[in-house]
């Protein structure tokens, strides 16, 4: 029963943010006498393209749109709806590759081709930072990829990651908007970041950037020791690029950056509220920790375990839900897992088989950690008998946690959440159910 409800809560959160649900009512009409150029990018890009084509086909204006959608490898084959006007490009996530650079260059070219009678519709979602990669002058893609991988492995959060990436790019931090200075532009975004900051969603390709080169240098100065400790030194060329004034991003009020409308159409907050409504309908009191929960996954798990055990001691029937992006400091480079699975494993250990408490932790994009492949798990479920079943399989849960190796642990006992791409992304979803 607990497993079924946990999965239903996750499904409710995902459904609330799916493009088919949230996008159509925000789509603009094509401009009179001009083109509607669609540039979609991110983990929701394919589904956003499908929803846009369906909308304009029903309106009889499909022939006026053109453009492209850039999604992670394997996503196009899971759409099940052929696109007629928009092309789908695939690239690598969470670190960019040559296809990411080619997609970014094509997006910049399309944006630059737009004139005063055209409207560029940017459909943005989490994952865009990797899928569109146009390295700054003097920096090649391997160096930028190595830096991104190093920041990920040393525990940098999304705000730190994107502040650095914006200053090493020709498309992020408002540069796409600069490329399309002659045209109108509308950005519709699905937020995957705590606080729904437009500068952070996809590294803000269409908005001004309040952070500076100095900020980016300070972040690296803080993270470099851990990167070196992990054998991941900062690549050559990064320091020079972050010292070059030409790589400073356009700031609020910059006259070279034409202001354009920006709307967030789905948020982690709305997804948490959808899950909360289902929990209430099932008789639970909801404790909504909101969408800005951050910190080390294992530490946050211990905090949530304490909350759950306290509620259990008080005889309360409670659903503790939360979003936000947790961090994992990698101690074993050979371990397999993601932040949601690490949270679930740490939670199971902290609960120590307390009866009546079960939890799910899963990424709303359907993929948690791993190599970004569509077969990777979304997260994991922790039940009161998780550790019991692990011992029967001769598994030492603490050892797996110590080695950041949650995937094989949960795989062995059948508690992985495997969904494949959900075609949306509003960050992580966690729910802890406490039954008296």
Same domain, 195 and 304: no
Same domain, 315 and 259: no
- Backbone torsion region of residue 399, taken as left when φ is above 0, otherwise alpha when ψ lies between -120 and 50, otherwise beta: alpha
DSSP symbols for 160-179: HHHHHHHTTBSSTTTHHHHH
Instruction: Give yes or no for a contact between 337 and 369, defined as CB atoms under 8 angstroms apart.
Output: yes
In a domain, 46, yes or no: yes
Residue 323 structural domain: 268-434
Kindly report which listed range (57-66, 119-128, 323-332) carries the lowest average pLDDT score. Answer: 323-332
Q: Which two tokens stand for residue 433?
A: 């159910």
Mean pLDDT of 288-297: 94
pLDDT cut 90: percent of the chain above it? 83
Among 233, 266, 299, residue at a domain's last position? 266
Rounded to an integer, what distance in angstroms lies between the CA atom of residue 393 and that of residue 28? 56
For 218, phi then psi, to 5°, come to: -65, -40
In a domain, 402, yes or no: yes
Give the model's confidence band at 417: pLDDT under 50 very low, under 70 low, under 90 confident, else very high. very high
Mean pLDDT of 224-244: 88
Q: For the segment 125-136, what is each residue's pLDDT rounded down to a tens digit?
A: 999 999 999 999
Among 203, 234, 266, residue at a domain's last position? 266
Same domain, 259 and 320: no
Give the model's confidence band at 230: pLDDT under 50 very low, under 70 low, under 90 confident, else very high. confident
Does the structure show a pLDDT above 90 at 121?
yes
Please indicate whether residue 162 or residue 216 has the higher confidence score (pLDDT). 216
Q: Which two tokens stand for residue 246?
A: 């030409």
Does the structure show a pLDDT above 80 at 371?
no
Same domain, 312 and 414: yes
Same domain, 255 and 393: no
What angle, 0 to 180 degrees and rounded to 10, lies between the N-to-C axes of helices 141-153 and 158-166?
Answer: 160
Same domain, 261 and 321: no
Residue 343's alpha-carbon distances to 293, 350, 368, in angstroms, are 12, 10, 11
Of the candidates 178, 154, 197, 176, the one whose C-alpha atom is nearest the C-alpha of residue 327 is 154
Same domain, 305 and 198: no
Give the model's confidence band at 370: pLDDT under 50 very low, under 70 low, under 90 confident, else very high. low
Q: What is the total count of domains within the chain?
A: 2
CATH of the domain at 408: 3.40.1480.10
Same domain, 407 and 285: yes
Q: For the segment 379-400, what is each residue's pLDDT rounded down to a tens digit?
A: 999 999 999 999 999 999 999 9
Same domain, 77 and 194: yes
Mean pLDDT of 176-181: 95
Buried b (16+ CB within 10 A) or exposed e, 298-324: bebbbebbeebbebbeeeebbbbbbbb
CA 313-308-400 angle, to 5 degrees, is 125
Mean pLDDT of 248-254: 92
Residue 149 buriedness (CB in 10 A; 0-12 / 13-18 / 19+): middle
Mean pLDDT of 155-182: 91
Mean pLDDT of 139-168: 87
In a domain, 243, yes or no: no
CATH of the domain at 36: 3.40.50.10180
Same domain, 290 and 179: no
Instruction: Give yes or no for a contact between 309 and 354, defined as CB atoms under 8 angstroms apart.
Output: yes
């Amino acid at each position: 029963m607990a497993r079924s409800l946990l999965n239903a809560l996750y499904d409710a959160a995902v459904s609330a943010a799916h493009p088919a649900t949230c996008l159509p009512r925000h789509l603009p009409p094509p401009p009179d006498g001009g083109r509607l150029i669609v540039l979609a990018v991110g983990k929701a890009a394919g589904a956003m393209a499908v929803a846009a084509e369906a909308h304009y086909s029903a309106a009889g204006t499909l022939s006026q749109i053109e453009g492209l959608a850039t999604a992670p490898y394997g996503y196009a084959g899971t759409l099940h709806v052929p696109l007629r006007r928009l092309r789908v490009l695939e690239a690598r996530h969470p670190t960019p590759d040559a296809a990411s650079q080619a997609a970014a260059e094509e997006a910049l070219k399309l944006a630059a081709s737009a004139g005063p009678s055209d409207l560029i519709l940017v459909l943005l979602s989490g994952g865009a930072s990797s899928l569109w990669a146009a390295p700054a002058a003097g920096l090649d893609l391997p160096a930028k990829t190595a830096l991104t991988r190093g920041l990920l492995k040393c525990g940098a959060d999304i705000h730190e990651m994107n502040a650095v990436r914006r200053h090493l790019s020709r498309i992020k931090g408002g540069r796409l908007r600069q490329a399309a200075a002659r045209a109108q532009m509308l950005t519709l975004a699905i937020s995957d970041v705590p606080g729904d900051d437009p500068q952070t969603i996809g590294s803000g390709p269409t908005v001004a950037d309040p952070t500076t080169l100095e900020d980016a240098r300070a972040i690296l100065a803080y993270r470099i020791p851990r990167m070196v400790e992990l054998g991941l030194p900062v690549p050559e060329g990064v320091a020079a690029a972050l010292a070059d004034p030409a790589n400073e991003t356009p700031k609020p009020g910059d006259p070279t950056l034409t202001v354009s409308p920006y709307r967030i159409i789905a948020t982690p907050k709305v997804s948490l509220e959808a899950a909360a409504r289902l929990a209430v309908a099932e008789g639970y009191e909801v404790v909504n920790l909101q969408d800005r929960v951050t910190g080390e996954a294992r530490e946050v798990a211990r905090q949530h375990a304490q909350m759950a055990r306290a509620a259990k001691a008080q005889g309360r029937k409670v659903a503790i839900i939360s979003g936000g992006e947790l961090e994992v400091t990698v101690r074993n480079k050979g371990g397999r897992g993601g932040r949601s699975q690490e949270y679930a494993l740490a939670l199971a250990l902290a609960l120590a088989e307390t009866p009546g408490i079960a939890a799910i932790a899963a990424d709303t994009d359907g993929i948690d950690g791993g190599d970004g492949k569509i077969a990777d798990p979304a997260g994991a479920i922790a039940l009161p008998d998780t550790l019991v079943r692990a011992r029967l399989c001769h598994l030492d849960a603490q050892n797996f946690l110590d080695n950041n190796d949650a995937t094989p642990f949960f795989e062995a006992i059948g508690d992985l959440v495997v969904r494949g791409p959900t075609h949306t992304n509003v960050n992580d979803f966690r729910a802890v159910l406490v039954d008296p």
